[in-house]
Amino acid sequence: MPVYEFKCTKCGERFEIVSSHAERDEKAVCPACGAHEVEQVFGGFKVGISRTRLNPGTFERPRGGRPEYTPPRKP
């Protein structure tokens, strides 16, 4: 399920809820003051893949060393 981030317009508290899209408005209640007057804010997001899986061979780190750039191999 997606994570939605909100900010309370009464007290300024920022909070997150995990909810389906259909239920997000009814679950968006400020945990600090209980207000329903909230606005959705858009934060950053994370992609669940490492950069070595995204570009194999591009960013490889020798054990205990610094990362070295290696151009991708042509197929």
Query: b/e map of 50-61 (b: 16 or more CB within 10 Å)?
Result: eeeeeeeeeeee
Please report which confidence band the pLDDT of residue 70 belongs to, taking 50, 70 and 90 as the band edges: low
Q: For the chain, which domains are there?
A: 1-44 (2.20.28)
pLDDT band for position 42 (cuts 50, 70, 90): confident
Q: Which amino acid belongs to residue 7?
A: K
| Closest by CA position to 32, among listed 10, 50, 59 | 10
d(CA 24, CA 1): 11
Residue 74's pLDDT is 75
CB-CB contact of 58 with 50 (8 Å): no
Does the pTM exceed 0.85? no
Query: 12 pLDDT exceeds 90?
Result: yes
